[in-house]
Structure 1
Amino acid sequence: MTDTAPRLVLIDGSSYLYRAFHALPPLSNDDGEPTGALFGVVNMLRATLKENPGYVAFVVDAPGPTFRDDLYPDYKANRPPMPDELRAQVEPMMKIVGALGIPILRVPGVEADDVIGTLAVQAAGDGVDVTISTSDKDFAQLVRPDGSGAGIALINTMTGSRLDSEQAVIDKFGVRPDQIVDYLALMGDTVDNVPGVTKCGPKTAAKWLGEYGSLDGVIEHAGEIKGKIGDNLRQALERLPLNRTLVTIRTDVKLESAPSDLVLRAADTDALRALYTRYGFRQALKELGGGAAANEAQARAEAAGMRNTAAGYAKAAATADDADPALSAVGEYECVTARAQLDAWLERLQAADEFAFDCETDSLDPMRANLVGLSFAVEPGRACYLPLAHDYPGAPQQLDRADVLAALRPVMTDAGKRKLGQHGKYDLHVLRRHGIDVQGYADDTMLESFVYNATATRHDMDSLARRYLGYETVKYSDVAGKGAKAILFSQVALDDATRYAAEDADVTLRLHRVLQPKLAAEPTLEKVYREIEMPLVKVLERIEANGVKVDANELRRQSADLGKRMLAAQQKATELAGRTFNLDSPKQLGALLFDELKLPALVKTPKGQPSTNEEALEAIADQHELPRVILEYRGLAKLRSTYTDKLPEMVNPDTGRVHTSYHQAGAATGRLASSEPNLQNIPIRTDDGRRIRTAFVAPEGRKIVACDYSQIELRIMAHLSGDESLVKAFESGADIHRATAAEVFGKPIDEVSGNERRAAKAINFGLMYGMGAFGLARQLGVARGEAQDYIALYFSRYPGVRDFMERTRQQARDQGYVETVFGRRLYLEHIAARNAGLRAGAERAAINAPMQGTAADIIKRAMVDIDGWLQAHADRALMVLQVHDELVFEVEEDFVQTLIGEVSGRMARAAELRVPLIVDSGIGDNWEEAH
């Protein structure tokens, strides 16, 4: 968009309203009137007007049918009625929009989308730069570059994302703007009740359009598309032209208003002041300024915002200025550079019932980061930053770091003083390494959000502030830059550093005041948070700090061996190709496989080009030896680059160990993940993968002990289903797969063959992960009908499992979530989707999630218990790794049997199920030997 062309902003009012309603908590003013959606809309409008558009319009749907309803009577038929709480906010929203001076367009018989589309195209044709403010992806069909001086761009005011070029649309959707209509027609639109091609999602739609160019091209080549998806496409052919009409935004609607009529009028400040006062919008009032009424309303709002109670703040959040990008209005932030200031803050920390804190450092690695500063918040809107190591030229004098830490140590190590953080495990590491072992770490907003609803949002501070406070935080890149121009936080000017760092502590406290009541209202969720997730923070901190010893020389030997075998694979590939080529170049490989060797391109990229990814090579590996050799080469290269070359470089020079980071708020099921390095994904099904584990070693005089739950998810299935035969098999201690084979194939357990046991194992695990007859057939190498017979036999012998699966699906449909044994909720976004593929995927997740989630809860409970016991024996044994259902320890040789007895018993008692939990233990000089 040019700087000189006139500008028109077209606001998708319905998108604003619904987006704000679903993004923000159910807020209200002092009179109990709902304000959540209104609050979000007002702040998005204020942000839009700060851009000073010359022309602007707020466009909403008029009541009554449109031409789409005539074409397709079921159009939008599945939309529920507007919630009463939202309906009550429509009228005040329109009053505020009008008072802001923004023209409102509501055209009978015409959808708002078509009004916006018509105005956008007209304005761009007249040389006016157009911005459509919306979160609706349908508008991507209108995006055009601004090479002529007048483009059409999309801006999502809530997220700040922008689409303003053909490439931006391609990057987001995989298709050009002129292909968006066809893209939407293929996928359909569940919101508007436009049925697409069953199981055709974004990737498939983009792939087809990349290959065939347009919807007409896809229809023309429908007979060439194989598999079930091809059948689905052919079944949908008749309705696709109608779909295209329904999803096309019209740009030729006859309107009474032209773009040039949409001039932003002067705001009616008296009307705005009355409205903002009524609904308690403090920052909006502050911007208006003047007037006794405004000052009185502002004082009331500030008083509400400063109440140091969870209930008070939950209500005050509705009236606070938390969504305002101007950070100076958020609160009273102080930069502490004098001893008197520090002493005053120490008194505040001592007097507060709880406070939030945050560390600023010079590294993302908590085991190497140097402390640059600390921030604290004692009540919403009141926070400070203590700079300790800003060293840019001209930096003001700062307090001595050692003196500050010594002064803070008593309050930070006081277990009776509640501390709050956001992903506080990082901060606990940093402070421990700087001499403060924090006690009383009571709440973590990342974990509060994760337990409350793991899938509603990401759990970083920026996302949480946006969702639960309606507030856009200052980003790290705003003060430190990004990319090649980024600077260390120690180089950030103190004013900017204070704005950023103090806000972190303030927003953390504010988030806690909103999230804590939400958890308190759900006792089972609060129990998961209090008894599993929060106690685990300190446990994981200790495991990460312990680290694990790695034999770098062994890894280098493995790297050398992998390198030789990669070279041999390269030579073999050259022989098979008849010429040299770069095995790491997808372009060269594609030309060789598909142009020269004429192998079929069975898998395509989103842009319709032949793919050379793993799936594509596996699909043609039976037709030529070269794809198999390429796959072998890639497997070796991945092991080398990810582990054998990288792990030695990750040894901490201070400890001589590798320190992974565990993530509690990653998988929605609650399973832990690890990174830097990722030790959860070391492949163990190949000799090369298992060999990597031999490099994880015990120091002299110690052993590695691995304790692993045996078939825990199957045992959880037996518990949840209560199936008598399955429970009996586990109670008897039988080989469960052999016992299942005996049941399914109707023969004595000692007569079960190896192939029958293999089939039973595939069924046992496959059903837990939602595998159907097709997947089982492929895994066993049998016909689909035979696989279906196996499944039918299984359910006839284990009817309790079948009933459990159906109960769980129904619970998911009724509630929108399923639960673990301990009450952790696992929300399923697509459980009621009209798209059969999305719905089926959600149903599969509904079956597996309670088992995988319960397994995660069990091992977390065991870790907390074991860690408590280990504290008295920290000089003799360390917990060093957690990988899925396994715990790994480093133990003095003469303490090994004691540890195995204690750990196995505590792991077995971590849950009371209908069947026993069995723990297998192993001992070795390295991790692999311990298996």
Structure 2
Amino acid sequence: MPSRSTRPRLVLVDGHGLAYRAYHALPPTLATSSGEPTAVVFGFTSMLLEVLNDFEPDYVIVCFDSGKSFRHELYEQYKAHRPETPDDLRHQLERIRQLLAAFRIPIVVREGYEADDLIGTLAKQAIERELEVLVVTGDTDLLQLVDDHVRVILPGRQRFGEYRVYDRQAVLDRYGFPPERLPEFKALVGDPSDNIPGVPGIGEKTATRLIQQFPSLEAMLERLDEIDPPRIREALRTARETVLTSRQLASIVRDAEVELDLDRAQFGYFDRDEVLALFRELEFRSLVPRLPQPRKPVTLSKPIPSQRRAILTEEELEELVRELEQSPAFALDVETTALHPMYAELVGLAIATSPVRSYYIPLGHTTGDVQLRRDAVARALAHFFQTERVQRYTHNGKYDALVLERAGFPRPRIDFDTMIAAYLLGENAVGLKELAFTKLGWEMEAITELIGRGKKQLTMDRAEIARVTAYACADVEATYRLVDVLRPQLEAQNQMRLFRDIELPLIDVLIDMERAGIAIDVSYLQRLSTELDSQLRTLERRIYNLAGHPFNINSPQQLSEILFEELRLPRGKRTKTGYSVSQEVLENLRDAHPIVDAILEYRQLLKLKSTYVDALPRQVHPETGRVHTIFHQTVAATGRLSSSDPNLQNIPVRGELGLAVRRAFVADNRPGYRIADEPILLLSADYSQIELRLMAHFSQDPALLRAFAEGKDIHAATASEVFGVPLDAVTPEMRRIAKVVNFGIMYGMQAYGLARDTGMSRQEAQRFIDAYFRRFPGVARYLEETKRRAAEMGYVETLFGRRRYIPEINSSNPARRQAAERMAVNMPLQGTAADIMKLAMIRVHRALAERHFRARMLLQVHDELVLEVPESELTSVAELVTSLMSSVVALTVPLEVEAKAGPNWADLEPIRVKLSH
């Protein structure tokens, strides 16, 4: 089962592919008492339930073929030999549609496209929206979609009800080449099921060898003289046009005319009785216990009739101002041209003065309609954006406020944000339309209904003002109404203080950080890219020398042959194409042969270059010359902030490679850009071992408390306790093992994990863990008490009351229950650390403003704050930041903060500071 990422999970089901697989895999004798065939429906439903229960998706969509596709025009014989759909299968496809309707799972069909193309397009859009995608199919063609955030689930070969999950490594293991080259493979060998012609004389082994030998099909066809034997060379020469057409036939389209509609796709809001009635009719009694629990049933209703108006004249704007003067609160939303607030242009502003009175002020439509001047609207509304007399409601108000500020409006103060409120309440889907559906029973218009889909999609500025008025006003009315629903729930669950004192004040902090951005040394990254190219070539030569001959380093099959057949290194897991050469396998072989270290270094360099070095320069803002990430408050279940566009949370923290990337983040000393007429430096303030200190505080273990109180090296002190040696006798290896355990214990590490990370045997690792808990009994008690409390209450809490609901803690599935226990153990520690960091950010932000420092916060990554500081302020700001961070909360162990400064994020030197507390 794929591990649960922080991304929402979308399941895309290949309706026809899965149904046809069930049709051929299950006995056709399966039928109801009345004789209705049900094998396909049963197989399809069984697999669907398996996926729903095992993977717990947030969204589900099923795609079906529409008949003939564009491929029939490209190649007349495409699927020409396939017989008509059998009657018993056609009837069962209709039954499947009935079941999907009962589950409230949307079906997507588009004329001219196959289900594969719809899935490919929806998967691409989902990744752009930071979702994790699982594709369920009976067809291996869809394996070409696999990438870092897309996995494919195929039914078992022996038993249909068993499945295998394919990630990128699994595809490499099965075929010997990456997923994106599967269309080339099919073009070479052909596909009888789709009537796609291959190259005569080329089978799977030869096709695999050719794909591994050449970087592309074009390269293969251009370098025919390098191909042996001659008969294969001539076959390819003869079939050149055919093979290119075949690849086109086999390639899944990623830009079909379909739009991902998450509002419709949200899973869980079905009527269980309706599903049960259909199950009874189909005699699927055995499937009843596997039905997932629906979310709270919702009766759809239309919003109460409301007054919605566009504000087009100064007189109408004055009327709105008079109404705002009498209103205790209003909801606010913006319409823009882009999702990134630093690139979005303001198109219009919506305001609701009550749940049934709302207004839309168009400001940037390009439709030729008369609109009010932006500066006039800003002057008219400025007072209401700032006054304490009125409450302002938003949904994702951080985005709204930053867009408005960039457009010349005063930044609105936010008094209630429905997205953050829903997040604190543990809602899985916190989008406005999802919440309107689940909390209000409103089925709201999807944005695609307004601006279209695919290539024909408009930007909001080109949409008709009348239609945008209805759409935008519905949004602010829903926001206004949701406040009345969510506020009592926050109070009932004791989340209001967290909401009011941490999450809402943090919005202003994050807006300033997002707008500030951080400078990037583009020329350095360009030089680094060239250096990495050279290092990769050097590593290639070294690997070839160690292997004794050249081979494709990126081919798992060839690498497996080199390591396990030619060099005879210890083998791991067997795969279809050889023995696994995954990262985990290679890490375990580090000391076995020098080639392993070289290959691991090669992989690291390749990933670093593509993910960071070559990507970051493309993300520099054209106006500011800086990189502007978006910080997210409502993604991580632990309360930690995350970032995107670009994601700065995943930059390596340690090692030469991580430092190389961090060196590109610099203090901005460009004329006209720096914040003072003097040299600028970066200041880093980093909490030291905060989660271990929290473990000591929560567990009140005497040995841990003593170690921190005495300022000891905690890992050396742990090694001294567990190995039973004096502190000065602790060896580096003892300390390394103790460090692994100290951090691993907070994530529920078991003997297997410790053995894997330290090189111990499983028995040695278990003895070490047993000894650890004997020396630190308070930690053992805390872990067990946390799990017990979680099982009893269904959630765990941080020191500040932030909750994480863990319903799986009482699951009958041991694997799922153990995973839930690990979450329960870790969340109070990681979540409290996140809360402490957020409070520190709020206090630092306020203090810098109150004391009129020119320094400003730029980034928050893990337990670290990064600021930009004029040289003359460095000592004062470092002392202020360190003092505030270390005094956020009083624990039974001290919070320690390390301050460093330098010209870039890598070359930082420690600063000696005097604490004021």
TM-score, scaled to structure 1: 0.67
Q: Do the aligned partners of 2:31 and 2:37 also contact (CA within 8 Å) in 1? A: no
Distance 1:497 1:609 in 2: 57
Q: Do the aligned partners of 2:697 and 2:892 also contact (CA within 8 Å) in 1? A: yes
Q: Do the aligned partners of 2:560 and 2:578 also contact (CA within 8 Å) in 1? A: no
**Matching residue of 2:135:** 172
Residue 867 (str. 1) matches residue 830 (str. 2): no
Q: Do the aligned partners of 2:589 and 2:596 also contact (CA within 8 Å) in 1? A: yes
**Matching residue of 2:487:** 516
Residue 503 of structure 1 and its aligned partner are, at CA, apart by: 1.8
String of CA shifts for 1:182-235, please: whole Å, max 9, x gaps.
878559xxxxxxxxxxxxx9779x989x99xxxxxxxxxxxxxxxxxxxxxxxx
Distance 1:477 1:568 in 2: 50
Distance 2:416 2:885 in 1: 26
Distance 1:114 1:412 in 2: 65
Residue 689 (str. 1) matches residue 667 (str. 2): no
String of CA shifts for 1:383-408, please: whole Å, max 9, x gaps.
2221112113xx43222223222222
**Matching residue of 1:390:** 365
Correspondences of 1:550-569 after superposition (within 5 Å): 550-569=520-539
**Matching residue of 1:29:** none
Distance 2:159 2:166 in 1: 10
2:106 to 157, 161, 164: 161
**Matching residue of 1:465:** 436
- CA 1:767–1:600: 2 relative to 1, 3 Å: closer
**377-386 vs 725-734, which moves further:** 377-386
TM-score, scaled to structure 2: 0.68
Task: Name the aligned partner's letter for residue 514 of structure 2.
Answer: E
String of CA shifts for 1:139-189, please: whole Å, max 9, x gaps.
99x9997863833344356764338898699963355699489878559xx
Q: Do the aligned partners of 2:155 and 2:161 also contact (CA within 8 Å) in 1? A: no
**Matching residue of 2:616:** 647
Residue 430 of structure 1 and its aligned partner are, at CA, apart by: 0.8
Correspondences of 1:330-729 after superposition (within 5 Å): 331-392=306-367, 395-453=368-426, 456-523=427-494, 525-572=495-542, 614-615=583-584, 629=598, 631-698=600-667, 699=669, 701-729=679-707
Distance 1:157 1:791 in 2: 50
Q: Do the aligned partners of 2:154 and 2:165 also contact (CA within 8 Å) in 1? A: no
Q: Per the alignment, in what secondary structure is the counterpart of residue 430 of structure 1?
A: helix
**721-730 vs 699-708, which moves further:** 699-708
Distance 2:698 2:485 in 1: 34
Q: Do the aligned partners of 1:133 and 1:156 also contact (CA within 8 Å) in 2? A: no
Correspondences of 1:790-805 after superposition (within 5 Å): 790-805=768-783
Residue 492 of structure 1 and its aligned partner are, at CA, apart by: 1.3
Task: Name the aligned partner's letter for residue 504 of structure 2.
Answer: M
Residue 873 of structure 1 and its aligned partner are, at CA, apart by: 4.2
Distance 2:446 2:556 in 1: 37
Distance 1:527 1:546 in 2: 29
String of CA shifts for 1:340-398, please: whole Å, max 9, x gaps.
33222222222211111111111222112211111111222332221112113xx4322
Residue 339 of structure 1 and its aligned partner are, at CA, apart by: 2.7
Residue 420 of structure 1 and its aligned partner are, at CA, apart by: 1.0
Residue 477 of structure 1 and its aligned partner are, at CA, apart by: 2.1
Q: Per the alignment, in what secondary structure is the counterpart of residue 704 of structure 1?
A: strand
Distance 1:617 1:175 in 2: 32
- CA 1:158–1:582: 2 relative to 1, 3 Å: same
Distance 1:181 1:114 in 2: 23
**768-777 vs 471-480, which moves further:** 471-480
The alignment's C-alpha RMSD in Å is 4.2
**372-381 vs 145-154, which moves further:** 145-154
Distance 2:325 2:524 in 1: 52
Which ranges in structure 1 are unaligned for 5 or more consecutive residues? 1-112, 126-130, 188-200, 212-247, 256-316
Residue 847 of structure 1 and its aligned partner are, at CA, apart by: 0.8
Task: Name the aligned partner's letter for residue 811 of structure 1.
Answer: R
Q: Do the aligned partners of 1:550 and 1:658 also contact (CA within 8 Å) in 2? A: yes
- CA 1:602–1:784: 2 relative to 1, 3 Å: closer
Q: Per the alignment, in what secondary structure is the counterpart of residue 867 of structure 1?
A: helix
- CA 1:178–1:583: 2 relative to 1, 3 Å: closer
Correspondences of 1:101-112 after superposition (within 5 Å): none
Q: Do the aligned partners of 2:561 and 2:578 also contact (CA within 8 Å) in 1? A: no
String of CA shifts for 1:704-746, please: whole Å, max 9, x gaps.
1111111100000000001111111111111111111111122
Distance 2:764 2:819 in 1: 24
Residue 464 of structure 1 and its aligned partner are, at CA, apart by: 2.0
Distance 2:618 2:40 in 1: 57
Residue 336 of structure 1 and its aligned partner are, at CA, apart by: 2.4
Correspondences of 1:50-89 after superposition (within 5 Å): none
String of CA shifts for 1:8-30, please: whole Å, max 9, x gaps.
xxxxxxxxxxxxxxxxxxxxxxx
Task: Name the aligned partner's letter for residue 858 of structure 1.
Answer: I
Distance 2:34 2:392 in 1: 52
String of CA shifts for 1:692-714, please: whole Å, max 9, x gaps.
21222222512211111111000
Residue 889 (str. 1) matches residue 858 (str. 2): no
Distance 1:608 1:181 in 2: 17
1:919 to 871, 878, 897: 897
- CA 1:157–1:484: 2 relative to 1, 3 Å: farther
**560-569 vs 718-727, which moves further:** 560-569
Residue 555 of structure 1 and its aligned partner are, at CA, apart by: 1.6
Q: Per the alignment, in what secondary structure is the counterpart of residue 788 of structure 2?
A: helix
Residue 467 of structure 1 and its aligned partner are, at CA, apart by: 2.3
Correspondences of 1:199-210 after superposition (within 5 Å): none
Q: Do the aligned partners of 1:377 and 1:384 also contact (CA within 8 Å) in 2? A: yes
Q: Do the aligned partners of 2:136 and 2:154 also contact (CA within 8 Å) in 1? A: no
**Matching residue of 2:727:** 749
Q: Do the aligned partners of 2:402 and 2:411 also contact (CA within 8 Å) in 1? A: no
